[in-house]
């Protein structure tokens, strides 16, 4: 009988602490991260930045100042070969609804790479 009561109490505590998916995902909003990957203007855009790493591809809001914007001039993704620039970034995760963006506030080790188009 004691085991049943303990199990019932444990289950009720677990369900009381259960979160919705939105609540769980929103806990990541505001988290600061570092990552390395490709950065540049998106394939279907002339102004919107994207960042691609082993974790996926993310839209970027640049909050690193005028010099950082100028340093990214010419960095662009192509359909088949990725971006022609790689960098290390520091960013804050921004979650809004089903959208995850990176607010990039620091860009280091920006390197332009020659990629041959397919």
**Is 117:89 a contact under the CB 8 Å cutoff?**
no
Q: What are the domain boundaries of the chain?
A: 22-112
Distance from CA of residue 65 to its chain's centroid?
Answer: 19
Band of residue 37 on the pLDDT scale cut at 50, 70, 90? very high
- pLDDT confidence of residue 9: 47
**Is 118:78 a contact under the CB 8 Å cutoff?**
no
What global pTM score does this model have? 0.75
- Residue 7's CB is within 10 A of a number of other CB atoms, namely 10
Supply the CATH classification number for the domain 22-112. 2.40.50.200
Look at 43 and 66; give whichever has higher pLDDT.
Answer: 66
pLDDT for 46 beyond 90: no
């Amino acid at each position: 009988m004691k085991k049943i009561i303990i199990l019932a109490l444990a289950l009720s505590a677990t369900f009381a602490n259960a979160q919705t998916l939105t609540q769980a995902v929103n806990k990541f909003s505001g988290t600061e991260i570092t990552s390395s990957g490709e950065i540049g203007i998106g394939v279907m855009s002339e102004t919107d930045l994207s960042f691609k790493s082993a974790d996926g591809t993310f839209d970027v809001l640049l909050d690193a100042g005028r010099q950082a914007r100028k340093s990214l001039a010419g960095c662009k993704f192509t359909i088949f070969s990725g971006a022609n620039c790689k960098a290390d970034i520091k960013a804050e995760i921004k979650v809004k609804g089903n959208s995850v963006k990176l607010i990039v506030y620091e860009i280091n080790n920006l390197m332009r790479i020659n990629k041959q188009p397919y």
